[in-house]
């Protein structure tokens, strides 16, 4: 009986592991009030980013932070001036750049199909007038039933780290 409950829980909840480490500039004490988030990742991570943005946006809104997201498409023809105009129109006090640096996939039991089950993201915070980050994090996400399943946990871990580092 207990074996079937364990199997049911694993199937229902899957196995999601999320780890984050960070480093904050020692003299930086500003809180996030208006955040413009720019993200770039593989085509296969689009579903993850879509869910992640919803969770992160809601969590930040609940903390009084106004947020705008911009996802760079892999074949985007947007110029730096186009992006700069969008950022300036929003008027953030900080910019967050999320870059997927690694993707992991699992081959199915038949050997011909894959599921994206993990990724690593480099996350940086910048003041709008600077090219030097004031905060940086490495977010590593793994999920047995697909990367998109880990979006909420990833958002929660990022929020926890931002609170711990006194940015929220």
pLDDT at 72: 86
Q: In the chain, where are the structural domains located?
A: 15-164
pLDDT at 78: 86
pLDDT at 24: 97
pLDDT at 76: 81
End-to-end CA distance of the chain: 45
Question: What is the rounded distance in angstroms from the CA atom of residue 30 to the CA atom of residue 22?
Answer: 16
Taking every pair of Cα atoms in the chain, the longest distance, rounded to a whole number of angstroms, is: 62
Q: Which long-range contacts (CB under 8 A, 24 or more apart) does 2-8 make?
A: none
Q: How confident is the model at residue 1 (pLDDT cuts 50, 70, 90)?
A: very low
Task: Spell out the alpha helix ranges (H) of 63-132.
Answer: 80-90
Model confidence pLDDT, tens digit, residues 59-92: 999 999 999 999 988 788 888 889 889 999 999 9
Q: What is the token pair recorded at 23?
A: 């480093």
Higher-confidence residue: 7 or 127?
A: 127
Question: What is the rounded distance in angstroms from the CA atom of residue 143 to the CA atom of residue 147?
Answer: 6
Please give the helix or strand (H or E) that residue 120 lies within, else none.
Answer: strand 114-126
**Which range, of 19-33, 88-102, 112-126, 153-167, averages the lowest pLDDT?**
112-126
Q: Tell me the angle at which helices 151-164 and 46-62 cross, rounded to the nearest 10 degrees.
A: 40
**C-beta neighbour count of 142 within 10 angstroms:** 17
pLDDT at 9: 40
Do you know the residue count of the chain? 168
Question: What is the rounded distance in angstroms from the CA atom of residue 25 to the CA atom of residue 112?
Answer: 46
Which DSSP letter does residue 111 get? Answer: S
pLDDT at 3: 54
pLDDT at 157: 95
Please give the helix or strand (H or E) that residue 122 lies within, else none.
Answer: strand 114-126
| Angle made by CA atoms 160, 143, 61, in degrees to the nearest 5 | 35
Please give the helix or strand (H or E) that residue 92 lies within, else none.
Answer: none
Model confidence pLDDT, tens digit, residues 90-142: 999 999 999 988 777 666 677 776 666 678 899 999 999 999 999 999 999 88
Residue 14 has pLDDT above 70, yes or no: no
CATH match for 15-164 among 2.60.120, 3.40.50, 3.30.160, 3.30.1490:
3.30.160
pLDDT at 21: 95
């Amino acid at each position: 009986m207990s074996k079937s409950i364990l199997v049911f829980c694993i199937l229902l909840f899957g196995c999601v592991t999320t780890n984050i480490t960070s480093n904050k500039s020692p003299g930086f004490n500003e809180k996030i009030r208006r955040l413009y988030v720019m993200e770039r990742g593989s085509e296969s991570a689009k579903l993850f980013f879509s869910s992640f943005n919803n969770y992160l946006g809601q969590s930040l809104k609940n903390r009084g932070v106004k947020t705008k997201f911009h996802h760079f498409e892999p074949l985007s023809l947007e110029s730096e001036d186009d992006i700069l105009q969008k950022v300036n129109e929003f008027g953030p006090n900080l910019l967050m750049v999320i870059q997927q640096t690694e993707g992991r996939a699992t081959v199915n039991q038949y050997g011909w199909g894959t599921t994206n089950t993990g990724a690593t993201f480099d996350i940086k915070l910048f003041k709008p007038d600077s090219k030097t980050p004031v905060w940086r994090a490495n977010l590593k996400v793994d999920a047995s039933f697909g990367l998109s399943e880990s979006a909420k946990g990833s958002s929660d871990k990022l929020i926890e780290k931002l609170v711990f580092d006194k940015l929220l």
